[in-house]
Structure 1
């Protein structure tokens, strides 16, 4: 009795939240587990480890030092099948018993009240050859040996997580409610590094809320959703946010530091937690997330759980890192790609396909978050990565889908083959969800930049780098996009051209076409201009050097047919001489050929501005009534107020490679 009390006191002094109990022995099996009967939650209830909030669930934790002694190679093949007895409440776990060829095992550790385990080590320690495993005992029956895989994520250098006392470690492994556990490692002449620890985490499986009933980061039925910053004149028209279990609902452990926040979101990363799929209730799902969070925070030293969101097998969404629903919080989920991405993890292991409910929920939360920043989940991006843990790329530009799997950038199987195969479906559903978070934008005093890709319009209200100020879906992937003042109200709004049919809308907001009509043929290039100076922009098509234009937005024959340019040219339209009438131009290999008339086939001026492969854009950048030159190149805009030199007066970043450049007003 005295010895047990002394050991418990020593553990308290060292900061271990290890449960106390009384000795017991189960002799009902040939492989009996001998140890102590513990109550992990009773220890946690004393205040050693607790979760956020006054009603937070208590969390029990033990981080027990591990010793893996060197083993002489000459005897490494020996085997001892004896299950060793253990002393109650071990001060350290020693793996020195040869139990299988080339393997050493530890004593048996009582695991009553713990449901999650992991092994950690000092950052940078050499553990690749240890090949850690664990097995569990329930009612005297042992499970198979389970691999303790070294974690494939770590904080990026320079972040608040990296500045904290971070330890390397395996992924947390959910073992459920078992009686005891035993560790095994490869027998090596070097043994294990100093400072290894065995982490055991436990908490109650309880829940007090209905699945999916809570939104936001507080335990309320409503949330204040804060989207990206907007410029003057932008009106919001956001759809309904997805239902999300708050951190208070699932009992998140308190943060130990404040994670960094990025300036925007540009993409999303899909993961699986690589844990157990055996949870059978929402309460058990919450327990697993809570224990994983405790392991990330207390055992690994991260500020918070690594993921921004977690989704269970039934499609319930859980807020991970605090404030992830309203801010671009930087997580610990994809080395080198953590900044400006949202990490969403499916709870469990998904070598098989995730359920339809899981895929839908992953898509909803990704679409909602990316939609808040005007990002089309079905588009691609160029991401500049740093030197991340386990990353395939270092300090280089990487072209990726906006929604990608962890394995696309790291040496890992995550999110499992089934999870990775589901990504195309997730992207498509996320795009629909992003559309529900559309933002309308009002009229601008000057023509302003916009982009189109796969039915997604993104508009910015200033000639400066930054996020979209308005975004919405209109049209389909494969459509050709235009913008024009279709009704003479002074505002340029969207249109799409599809197989000879035009679909036009009179506001920069989500919704259907206000008018639709046929003009032109499949394969034509759509053009828009005020051909007769009546204040209304109307349609036309360019076909292998021929222009066919109409003075009304209706079906019919071309009212003006002109030859100007040649096959392969890119048509441009503008008021080149400030007379109120738009006339013709073509862009060819970095040169602009412009005319102030419709009835001549030669240029009134030829100017070099831009390079072969650029997209030409023409607009009145300084509100002097004359349209001048610009080009769009891989997300960069270069604009000039003059015709007589090839130097840009202004440049900024907006959009990405593969986007169609547009102008709205």
Structure 2
């Protein structure tokens, strides 16, 4: 498991849509992805300017809109940049915050700052000092990023948020070039990674200027993506969600908004957390009301559907790292919604951003309402919550068919489905896989009406379902198979898995002639037609019937189970019968 480091997150999807799982395929009509351009320039190549050589100035060959700094050795005490616009005017100095670098899989081998939005610029000044003196420029480089432009950059500032799940702007809509991510994954031999669950929300700011427009926001997100994925080698945006000052939410790290995607936003505390980052710097400027509301709405959706108390505390274990406040292995108790500075050596999310945390917690609690009334939450609590057999929420609670609910737990291995008629029941593993193959709760079996249980003989597992008189039975030898209706009733009449048939080894299927239905079992079969009903056939008599051509033979379908006769056994069929001689083992077919 590779280390994760960074401090921001984004969520997104096509405008007006609220999908929860990312897709590499853009929706119809989405503009082409935009590949940002990154230039890395040694600071030693810059010329010194005023202030006794403490400031160095770069005039690159092309314009840029974001800037960051990389270095080796100790971090500078002062690290600021100032950009010049196309009119030749110099902007304000922007302080850069430090993050952990990751080059060629080695955490901390190079140090780095966060990227700062400076607007479209033609030149950059850098002030970097240690102990009041300029740093050795040979150990520093400047990263200049042009995030490009897209016809989709002018995004509606009101995205139709709801109190449940806010609309987010997808990666496809903000122009993510997925080849950047996939190539990095291929180079590092990794992929999308997931925590077992999400326990807390980390609030960040991205740094940089605050005077961006709504159309700039997608460009800022693309620039952060390029820097985090390529320069820092995180392969993707570190944050799970980004929020601009207009209240727009952008999808950040790939992998699904409703899943516990393991980000790279808070060094040492990425596991079990979701990172929400506000675009801008909130040291001397407060986040906008729209921004705070959007942060709150996303956090409320994530926490309510993940069964986490926004006013509570959680205990997390530090994974360590250069910017983490706590050594690896340290247990730290934190609010469910906390600021990045609570766990890292950083000012993030800025003093005025940090002061908004009580307001965000209160608003999140208001939006969540009576979230503990969920019947699946109550079932989870009764089973021991995180310390019970289900563990934490993996995929958030969401609506299921016909007014039902579903939540996935245990790193995706188990789910609880609820409906008003069945209650809340656990379904998992191969049984759930078979059920999913037939359409889950929308299929012919409907909702589970029992948890998964062990069979009386101890060899198998099963769930019963609400429709079609159905069940799914599993053993290590046979796998998981559905059985229902008249065939299941016949099997039950014979003694279930303790019968001569033992366990089903196929699902129910239609016969080749299109008239009947059957399940094969470990030691026999049950065949059914509307005119004959369901009957068991096994052993030597079944072998003889199969040899003759099954239901297409002159005998047709079974009309009785096998029964004892003098000296042997017999099964009746539509047009005859088969006998078995106990003395000789011979089977004989007769027609009427």
Q: Which runs of 5+ in 1 are unaligned?
A: 1-50, 69-93, 216-237, 452-457, 473-506, 510-665
Cα distance change, pair 133–464 in 1 and its aligned pair in 2 (3 A): same
| CA contact 1:115–1:203 (8 Å) conserved in 2 | no
Correspondent of 2:54 among 93, 103, 107: 103
The residue that corresponds to 1:82 in the other structure is: none
The residue that corresponds to 2:112 in the other structure is: 169
Correspondent of 2:166 among 205, 228, 242: 242
1:184 positional shift: 4.5
Q: Does 1:346 align with 2:244?
A: no
The residue that corresponds to 1:198 in the other structure is: 143
1:139 positional shift: 1.9
The residue that corresponds to 1:376 in the other structure is: 309
> C-alpha distance in 1, partners of 2:276/2:104?
18
| CA contact 2:229–2:236 (8 Å) conserved in 1 | yes
RMSD: 3.9
The worse-fitting range, judged by mean Cα deviation, of 395-404 and 205-214 is 205-214
Equivalences for residues 213-224 of structure 1 within 5 A: 213=159
Cα distance change, pair 329–288 in 1 and its aligned pair in 2 (3 A): same
The residue that corresponds to 1:464 in the other structure is: 389
Correspondent of 1:58 among 16, 22, 34: 34
| CA contact 1:52–1:252 (8 Å) conserved in 2 | no
Q: Does 1:120 align with 2:70?
A: yes
| CA contact 2:160–2:167 (8 Å) conserved in 1 | yes
| CA contact 2:202–2:338 (8 Å) conserved in 1 | yes
Equivalences for residues 121-160 of structure 1 within 5 A: 121=71, 124-128=72-76, 131=79, 133-144=81-92, 146-147=93-94, 149-152=96-99
TM-score (structure 1 length as normaliser): 0.48
> C-alpha distance in 2, partners of 1:371/1:57?
33
Equivalences for residues 262-341 of structure 1 within 5 A: 262-281=195-214, 283-341=215-273
Correspondent of 2:333 among 376, 399, 420: 399
Instruction: State the Cα deviation string for residues 536-583 of structure 1 (Å, max 9, x = none).
Output: xxxxxxxxxxxxxxxxxxxxxxxxxxxxxxxxxxxxxxxxxxxxxxxx
Equivalences for residues 69-88 of structure 1 within 5 A: none
| CA contact 2:305–2:396 (8 Å) conserved in 1 | no
Cα distance change, pair 461–315 in 1 and its aligned pair in 2 (3 A): closer
The residue that corresponds to 1:26 in the other structure is: none
Instruction: State the Cα deviation string for residues 149-197 of structure 1 (Å, max 9, x = none).
Output: 2423557xxxx99569985322112111233334454496872345734
Correspondent of 2:318 among 373, 385, 409: 385
> C-alpha distance in 1, partners of 2:246/2:264?
24
Instruction: State the Cα deviation string for residues 578-598 of structure 1 (Å, max 9, x = none).
Output: xxxxxxxxxxxxxxxxxxxxx
The residue that corresponds to 1:555 in the other structure is: none
Q: Which runs of 5+ in 2 are unaligned?
A: 1-23, 186-190, 398-421, 425-592
SS of residue in 1 equivalent to 2:318: strand
Equivalences for residues 199-598 of structure 1 within 5 A: 199-204=144-149, 206-207=151-152, 210-211=156-157, 213=159, 240-254=164-178, 255=181, 256-257=184-185, 258-281=191-214, 283-351=215-283, 352-394=285-327, 395-435=329-369, 440-441=374-375, 450=381, 460=385, 463-464=388-389, 466-467=391-392
> C-alpha distance in 1, partners of 2:198/2:77?
38
SS of residue in 1 equivalent to 2:195: coil
1:115 positional shift: 1.2
TM-score (structure 2 length as normaliser): 0.53
Q: Which has the higher helix share?
A: 2
> C-alpha distance in 1, partners of 2:157/2:334?
34
> C-alpha distance in 2, partners of 1:265/1:345?
16
Structure showing greater relative contact order (alpha-carbon pairs closer than 8 Å, 6 or more residues apart):
2
SS of residue in 2 equivalent to 1:304: coil
Instruction: State the Cα deviation string for residues 295-321 of structure 1 (Å, max 9, x = none).
Output: 111222111111100111121111111
Instruction: State the Cα deviation string for residues 226-281 of structure 1 (Å, max 9, x = none).
Output: xxxxxxxxxxxx98421111111111232132342101000000111112211122
| CA contact 1:139–1:179 (8 Å) conserved in 2 | no
SS of residue in 1 equivalent to 2:364: helix
| CA contact 1:247–1:319 (8 Å) conserved in 2 | yes
| CA contact 2:65–2:144 (8 Å) conserved in 1 | no
Question: How many residue pairs end up in the alignment?
Answer: 360
| CA contact 1:62–1:200 (8 Å) conserved in 2 | yes
Cα distance change, pair 324–276 in 1 and its aligned pair in 2 (3 A): farther
Cα distance change, pair 438–126 in 1 and its aligned pair in 2 (3 A): same
